[in-house]
Amino acid sequence: MADIIPADTAATMASETEAQLRLVMDTLPGLIAYVDHDLRYRFANARHSEWFGRPRSDFAGHTVLEVLGEELFSFTRPYLERALAGEKVIYEHTYSYRPDFVRDVQVTYLPDRDSGTEVKGVVIVLEDITARRQAERAQSESERQLSLLVEASGRLLASPDSAEVFQNILDLAKEFIDADAYSVWRRSADGVYWHIATKSGLSDNYSGSLLDPGGTSGKLPRVPLAFEDVEKAPFADLRREAYQAEGIQSLITVPLQIGSELQGTLVFYYRARHRFTELETRVASALGNLASAALGTAEIYAREKELRRTAEAEERKAQFLARAGEVLSSSLNYEQTLAAVVDLAVPAFADWASVDIFGADNELRRVSLKHVDPARIAMGEEFRRRYPPDERDAGTQVMRTGKSILVPEITDEMVIQGARDPEHLRMIRELGLKSIILVPLRANERTFGLLTFVTAESDRRYSETDLVFAEDLGRRAATAVDNARLFTESREAQEALRHSNEELQSANEDLNQFAYSASHDLQEPLRILSIYSQLLHRKYEGQLDEKAREYLDFIVEGAKRMEMLLRDLLAFIQAVNIAPGEAPLVDMSDVVERAIANLRSAIQENQAEISYSGLPKVRIQETHLIQLFQNLIGNAIKYRGKEKPVIYIGAVRNASTWEIRVKDNGIGIAPEYRSQIFGLFKRLHNRDQYPGTGIGLAICQKIIERYGGRIWVESAGGSGSTFCFTLPA
Ligand code: ADP
């Protein structure tokens, strides 16, 4: 190409090209230089004076040693020598050109061989890679930090206790971000109230709670918010004084959230103005995410623990109820029963448990008070003795209304309000009551007592479910007590009945004894009366006038009747006194025959016809059965109609009895008298019409009843009667 261009033109062109080349090289962002074989700069572009902070004249014609200085030169020299030996050398290094001008560079040395093999010099190209390096470094530092954070997160997640989680978050934050102070804030469920869960580097005065009635916090973006100037923070108005008191200038706040719910914040404070690097923001954000995860886990854990606790408590209560059920049904002494329930309640359900019963004197009487510590019981009793329940007392209210009371939290204000005097106040405080349930004991619409459950030392608090439980217990206890009362009452009634039966029996025995001896002993004087009146009649008949004879007849008649009465009465008493027990088996037909034989004269007189068939064998004393038939057949003849008496005796077999029927064709009995005639001395006719004492059927009834049977009469009235009785088959 040079051959066809004239020499002077070529020279002009060459100088122009060189000028253009210089311009290009001076505007390059990096350094370009040419160093000769003696390591002396032949050329250095304009950036050299900028980087080194020296005039351009300091480079061309000066040695590399002079330009770089001893330290840099000794580092660079081996590379330069390799280039002078003909090798293309590329390396990266960070050069500190000036104290405040450090550059990451990629250095390239190109050997200048011209056309031959000998190296005449080296072209030096330095590319500024500071920005790239910095980005890479930031990246790797942040990666390193984050991976460290992930490693550390194990610690955070390992202790799922929510109480510890906040402290752990804070500890971790301190490790990764170097701030002057730290805090973890928690937000209440309604979002209105914030308080510090834990803090570090802040004075004790640093206000630990914050109201956010406007709910501003809920609207904050869920990303870390860094404020170089705290005055710019959206909550500055709320916190200004606190920041000033602590000398806080800058802060970064990181949201802690579970799901999408903002649960709290992690805050880093700086007492000097702090410009937040991207790395810090990234690490803070990662910390926030990690802490949120830990919080979530802690919450799940806490919920699980709570569920388990509830389940255990339920289990305990169920066991308690089952035991209470046993106890309640095991004893019929109700005070004992209630005391046993109270015993069981402590400590499964309460620290203190008591039962009171409303006495007849309208006073609540304490039946039982239970606590695990006897010393405390003594204290409780002393308290009760000194301050018996008055109108204002919760127990009195429950008694009045019949409604239970639950106080989940007994506050000191309540205690102060309820105290009657300073000593009362002191004693209540000493008892340390935390929570109370009072349940009425009700039966038949009446409140008769009170169950009280109190927590103290256990620090437990009663809930609505506990109330439901206590009410259930109260109902069971009341039912048990009512059962016990019914039992006692019925036992008392039985006792009274037994007692009056005994009295009746002994009165009966006395009466029997009296009647027996009376009828027996009366027979003797009666016989004398009878004999002497007959003697009188026989011997002095002629000397007596009409009137005297009539009187004498009355006497004889009266004596006969008396004799008859006494005989029947004696028979009745004997029937009453038939001793229960095994009787021999007798053939009823034989018995009827005997009765007929005894009644022979009456039968002949009245021309009575008596027949029977199908009569069974029964277990009865023969004399009793003879007497029975004699009475019934005798009556059938005595109360005959105009026709001659026809009597038939038959038997019917029922399930477990024999029913015997004695049928006559006599005068019959009107329906209204049918039950009366079995009463003692009950007669439907006067003596002139039909003689008799009114004792015969009463004897029959007594005999039949003694052998477990029944006697009654069937009659159509005017057309005969049928006397029926049963005996066990
Ligand atoms: P009494 O000594 O009077 O016969 P009972 O106790 O044997 O006493 O009978 C009570 C009453 O029952 C009799 O007075 C009579 O009026 C009535 N009576 C008993 N048996 C018969 C009968 N077979 N027919 C009608 N009336 C009878």
- Is 177 buried (19+), middle (13-18) or exposed (0-12) by CB count in 10 A? buried
Residue identifier of the C-alpha nearest atom 11 of ligand 1: 683
User: Cα(476) to centroid of ligand 1, in Å?
Assistant: 61
User: Cα(694) to centroid of ligand 1, in Å?
Assistant: 7
Give percent of the chain above pLDDT 90.
26
Kindly state the tokens that stand for 508: 């009966």
Q: Which amino acid is at 337?
A: T
User: Cα(635) to centroid of ligand 1, in Å?
Assistant: 6
**Cα→Cα distances 296→184, 267, 291, 493, Å:** 15, 19, 8, 68
**Which ligand 1 atom sits nearest the alpha carbon of residue 723?**
23
d(CA 609, CA 146): 131
Confidence label for 568 from pLDDT (cuts 50, 70 and 90): confident
Residue identifier of the C-alpha nearest atom 4 of ligand 1: 692
Instruction: Please say if the pLDDT value at position 2 is more than 50.
Output: no
Residue identifier of the C-alpha nearest atom 7 of ligand 1: 696
User: Cα(530) to centroid of ligand 1, in Å?
Assistant: 27
pLDDT score of 712 = 94
- Between these two residues, 584 and 148, which has the higher pLDDT value? 584
Query: Taken in order 282, 288, 292, 295, is the CA torsion positive or negative?
Result: positive
**Cα→Cα distances 445→402, 440, 448, 449, 476, Å:** 9, 11, 9, 12, 15
User: Cα(723) to centroid of ligand 1, in Å?
Assistant: 11
Q: Count of CB atoms within 10 A of residue 343's CB?
A: 14
**Which ligand 1 atom sits nearest the alpha carbon of residue 684?**
16
Instruction: Count CA atoms closer than 13 A to 412's CA, side-chain side.
Output: 3
User: Cα(703) to centroid of ligand 1, in Å?
Assistant: 17
- Per-residue DSSP letter, 219: H
pLDDT score of 1 = 43
The answer to whether residues 664 and 720 touch, using CB atoms and an 8 Å cutoff, is yes
**Which ligand 1 atom sits nearest the alpha carbon of residue 636?**
23
d(CA 269, CA 249): 8
pLDDT score of 406 = 94
Q: Is 369 helix (H, G, I), strand (E, B) or coil?
A: strand
Q: Beta strands 89-98 and 352-358: pairing type?
A: unpaired
**Which ligand 1 atom sits nearest the alpha carbon of residue 678?**
6
- Between these two residues, 382 and 715, which has the higher pLDDT value? 382
User: Cα(691) to centroid of ligand 1, in Å?
Assistant: 10
pLDDT digits (tens, 9 = 90+) for 217-255: 666 677 888 899 988 887 777 788 888 889 999 999 888
Pocket of ligand 1 (CB under 6 A): 631, 635-636, 639, 664, 666-667, 669, 677, 682-685, 692-698, 721
User: Cα(685) to centroid of ligand 1, in Å?
Assistant: 8
User: Cα(642) to centroid of ligand 1, in Å?
Assistant: 17
User: Cα(198) to centroid of ligand 1, in Å?
Assistant: 110
Mutate to test the pocket of ligand 1, among 632, 697, 700, 703 (most ligand atoms within 8 A of CB): 697
Residue identifier of the C-alpha nearest atom 16 of ligand 1: 684
- Between these two residues, 167 and 430, which has the higher pLDDT value? 430
- Between these two residues, 185 and 722, which has the higher pLDDT value? 722
**Which ligand 1 atom sits nearest the alpha carbon of residue 697?**
6
pLDDT digits (tens, 9 = 90+) for 518-561: 767 777 777 888 888 888 878 887 888 888 888 888 888 888 88
Kindly state the tokens that stand for 403: 């409604």
User: Cα(634) to centroid of ligand 1, in Å?
Assistant: 9
Mutate to test the pocket of ligand 1, among 677, 689, 714 (most ligand atoms within 8 A of CB): 677
- Between these two residues, 2 and 640, which has the higher pLDDT value? 640
Confidence label for 487 from pLDDT (cuts 50, 70 and 90): low
**Which ligand 1 atom sits nearest the alpha carbon of residue 682?**
10
What is the rounded average pLDDT of the residues 22-38? 86
What is the rounded average pLDDT of the residues 111-121? 83
pLDDT score of 304 = 73
The answer to whether residues 44 and 59 touch, using CB atoms and an 8 Å cutoff, is yes
Nearest to 262 by CA among 230, 225, 231, 226: 225
pLDDT score of 363 = 80
Residue identifier of the C-alpha nearest atom 20 of ligand 1: 635
Residue identifier of the C-alpha nearest atom 12 of ligand 1: 677
The structure tokens 């009700």 sit at 442
User: Cα(177) to centroid of ligand 1, in Å?
Assistant: 123
- Is 451 buried (19+), middle (13-18) or exposed (0-12) by CB count in 10 A? buried
d(CA 157, CA 169): 10
User: Cα(636) to centroid of ligand 1, in Å?
Assistant: 8
Mutate to test the pocket of ligand 1, among 639, 700, 713 (most ligand atoms within 8 A of CB): 639
Crossing angle of helices 278-330 and 334-348, rounded to 10°: 160
Residue identifier of the C-alpha nearest atom 25 of ligand 1: 668
Angle at the Cα of 589 (from 587 to 595), degrees rounded to 5? 110
User: Cα(729) to centroid of ligand 1, in Å?
Assistant: 27
pLDDT digits (tens, 9 = 90+) for 587-621: 999 999 999 999 999 999 999 999 999 999 999 98
**Which ligand 1 atom sits nearest the alpha carbon of residue 698?**
6
Residue identifier of the C-alpha nearest atom 8 of ligand 1: 694
pLDDT digits (tens, 9 = 90+) for 182-219: 988 888 777 777 888 888 898 887 866 666 656 666 66
**Which ligand 1 atom sits nearest the alpha carbon of residue 694?**
8
**Which ligand 1 atom sits nearest the alpha carbon of residue 683?**
14
300: left (phi over 0), alpha (psi -120 to 50) or beta: alpha
pLDDT score of 153 = 65
**Which ligand 1 atom sits nearest the alpha carbon of residue 631?**
7
**Which ligand 1 atom sits nearest the alpha carbon of residue 668?**
25
DSSP H/E element including 452:
strand 446-455
Give percent of the chain above pLDDT 70.
90
Radius of gyration of the chain, Cα coordinates, nearest whole angstrom:
63
Burial call 577-608: b when 16+ CB within 10 Å, e when fewer: ebeeeebeebebbebbebbbebbeeebeeeeb
Q: Which amino acid is at 105?
A: V
Phi, psi of 459 (to 5 degrees): 65, 15
Give every strand in the sheet of 41-44, ordered side by side: 41-44, 31-36, 121-128, 101-112, 89-98
User: Cα(630) to centroid of ligand 1, in Å?
Assistant: 13
Q: Count of CB atoms within 10 A of residue 425's CB?
A: 16
Mutate to test the pocket of ligand 1, among 629, 633, 635 (most ligand atoms within 8 A of CB): 635
pLDDT score of 194 = 81
**Which ligand 1 atom sits nearest the alpha carbon of residue 720?**
24
Range name among 68-72, 99-103, 312-316 with the lowest pLDDT average: 312-316
Phi, psi of 485 (to 5 degrees): -65, -45
pLDDT digits (tens, 9 = 90+) for 279-309: 788 888 888 887 777 777 777 777 777 777 7
- Per-residue DSSP letter, 12: H
User: Cα(592) to centroid of ligand 1, in Å?
Assistant: 19
Residue identifier of the C-alpha nearest atom 21 of ligand 1: 635
User: Cα(639) to centroid of ligand 1, in Å?
Assistant: 7
What is the rounded average pLDDT of the residues 648-669? 93
pTM of the model: 0.39
User: Cα(554) to centroid of ligand 1, in Å?
Assistant: 24
Kindly state the tokens that stand for 560: 């006969």
